[in-house]
A and B are shown apart, each in its own frame.
Chain A
Amino acid sequence: MAGKPRGLRLFRNLNAKVAAVPMVLTTLVVFVGGTLWTVLYSFTNSKLLPRWQFVGLDQYKRLWSNDLWNAAIWNLAFYGVMSLIFTITMGFVLAVLLDQKIRFEDTFRTIMLYPFALSFIVTGLVWQWILNPEMGIQEVVRRMGFEGFTFDPLHNPNTVLYGLLIAGLWQGTGFTMCLMLAGLRGIDEDIWKAARVDGIPKWKTYLFVVIPMMRPVFITTLVIVAAGIIKLYDLVVAQTSGGPGNASQVPAMYVYRYMFTAQNLGQGFAASTMMLLSVLIVLIPWAYLEFGGKKHG
């Protein structure tokens, strides 16, 4: 009698393992296979077609002495830091605002999320337009009587990244807001009551009680946003195409350029390997924090 349930359980477990096989296989073949392939070939001097001629770290040396690559890296670093700071702060502030039990909350949330549901391509186009000096914000303000007003971020190498940033924030803030709101709603009501009884002002409760409690939400948001930033591609393509000059080049565009336009696969591989590496630098500490520390807890 005792043997049968155990046998059944084994059968179920086996079935479960089989059910996961297609997923594991696809991920394994595509992601791990493709990634390894890319990393391996980054050590070759592949030009138009991949070929197996080992040249060591030459591609990387060339990559890091390439002005375009260095510009792309700095652009991304600047954009990334600014974007992280602003999406997370604005997302949190908006979530707090939304948490005040405002009217039509669901509709508000949906509208805030709309930009996130739209593609980067459309976002880039729309903002290219709004920031266009002849018909966008600059023109409107000038018509209002401020003749000297100048606002043309996309055509100035010094400000083009801010132009991208505005569009990126517009797109992503609603998403961080929703993550933060879920975090806020996860805070026990009793904590608010306790704070009120102790006469702690609301803003202090947020700052010193709620935010520390939301640490996991902040970290998850940070990782998702950061990983998205490293991939930044479509927004730039639609909004500036990397210009003016190379002032808004980003690494993903460099990869694309060397693979398809310059037909220098080796460089493209080396550049994608560097991108992979930077994602890993973001992910591994997070994975360790989130999963490693309390793995079987």
Chain B
Amino acid sequence: MARSVSTRRKLFFTVAAWSVALLIFFPVLWTILTSFKTEASAVASPPELLGADWTLQNYSDVWARSDYPRFFMNSVIISIGSTLLGLLIAIPAAWSMAFVPGNKTKDLLMWMLSTKMMPAAAVLIPMYLIFQKTGLFDTRTGLVLALMLMNLPVIIWMLYTYFKEIPGEILEAARMDGASLKNEVLYILTPMAIPGIASTMLLNIILAWNEAFWTITLTTVNAAPLSAFIASFSAPQGLFYAKLSAASTMAIAPILIMGWFGQKQLVRGLTFGAVK
């Protein structure tokens, strides 16, 4: 008797939770559906579902725009490039803070993290002027640098929390056995750190992929990634809903897919990045 009640309870909570999830997912689902409709069908009222004209035309139209593949490639290069560069700087820093903490380590971390919370607008003009002067404005290199800088605090913080979980005793043991610093890092630390690094990478690629403030302000046409492309669509004249949906779907598809396959990493990464 008691068990059947608890099963029913569980069922109730499951149904409730899934209704919420469906509600949350609906806008994304609708965008994806709309991207496969004709323009007429997309703006039809009431919204058409079963009787809609389905088509792949929007995708080929958007892709056929001479500049779309460039936006897409820019997004790929910028998000992956800035992540790799960020890891290069962050791994040594996080390693040193996690395994050789000094008196100031906590303060330093705190300060790092707080820079991420600063409004980007505060460094907008200095960055803008430096980029103009050095010829980095509207280049992929420039954006890789800018996004790396913006996300560096998050990368370091996440790596730090992951490295902290690696038991120090193992390193001590390796030292006792006479492992050199190089071997210690290469053969002991790295294999244990890979999952943490991978999660950090995933999260950071997503952050960089989504970045809009810097990509809008520091590019015009050449280096603009998808986020800037989509933003330019939101101008009043861009009333092509089906095509806009197709463009948006292509912009969010990599995230949906990466997020799906990296569910554990994504959630763990996000929560561990903030909850100590």
Enumerate chain A interface residues (CB-CB to B < 8 A): 11-13, 15-17, 19-20, 22-24, 26-27, 30-31, 33-35, 37-38, 41, 50, 94, 97-98, 100-104, 106-122, 124-130, 134-135, 139-140, 143, 170, 173-175, 178-179, 181-183, 186, 216-217, 220-221, 223-224, 227-228, 230-231, 233-234, 237-238, 241, 251-252, 255-256, 259-260, 265, 268-269, 271-273, 275-276, 279, 282-283, 287, 290-291, 295-296
Q: Mark B188-210, 1 if CB is under 8 A from A, else 0.
A: 00000000000000000010011
- Which B116-147 residues have C-beta < 8 A from chain A? 117-129
Q: Are A276 and B275 in contact (CB-based, < 8 A)?
A: no
Q: Are B99 and A181 in contact (CB-based, < 8 A)?
A: no
Q: Are A112 and B230 in contact (CB-based, < 8 A)?
A: no
Q: Are A19 and B45 CB-contacts (below 8 A) given A101-B10, A268-B125, A279-B117? A: no
Q: Are A122 and B270 in contact (CB-based, < 8 A)?
A: no
Contacts of A108 in B (CB 8 A): 17-18, 21
* In the complex, number of A-B residue pairs with CB atoms less than 8 Å apart: 269
Q: Are A265 and B125 CB-contacts (below 8 A) given A23-B93, A128-B234, A291-B110? A: yes
Enumerate chain B interface residues (CB-CB to A < 8 A): 9-10, 13-14, 16-18, 20-21, 24-25, 27-28, 30-31, 43, 45-47, 89-90, 92-93, 95-97, 99-100, 102-103, 106-108, 110-112, 114-115, 117-129, 149, 152-153, 156, 181, 206, 209-213, 217, 227, 230-231, 233-234, 241, 244, 248, 251-252, 255-256, 259-260, 263-264, 266-267, 270-272, 274-276
Q: Are A126 and B31 in contact (CB-based, < 8 A)?
A: yes
Q: Are B97 and A38 in contact (CB-based, < 8 A)?
A: no
Q: Are B117 and A223 in contact (CB-based, < 8 A)?
A: yes
Q: Are B96 and A178 in contact (CB-based, < 8 A)?
A: no
Q: Are A259 and B125 in contact (CB-based, < 8 A)?
A: yes
* Chain B residue with Cβ nearest A100: B13
Q: Are B153 and A27 in contact (CB-based, < 8 A)?
A: yes
Q: Are B234 and A23 in contact (CB-based, < 8 A)?
A: no
Q: Are A140 and B263 CB-contacts (below 8 A) given A182-B271, A279-B119? A: no
CA distance A295 to B209 in the complex (A): 36
CA distance A291 to B112 in the complex (A): 13
CA distance A30 to B28 in the complex (A): 36
The smallest beta-carbon distance between A295 and chain B, in angstroms, is 7
Q: Are A183 and B275 in contact (CB-based, < 8 A)?
A: yes
The smallest beta-carbon distance between A178 and chain B, in angstroms, is 5
Contacts of B10 in A (CB 8 A): 100-103
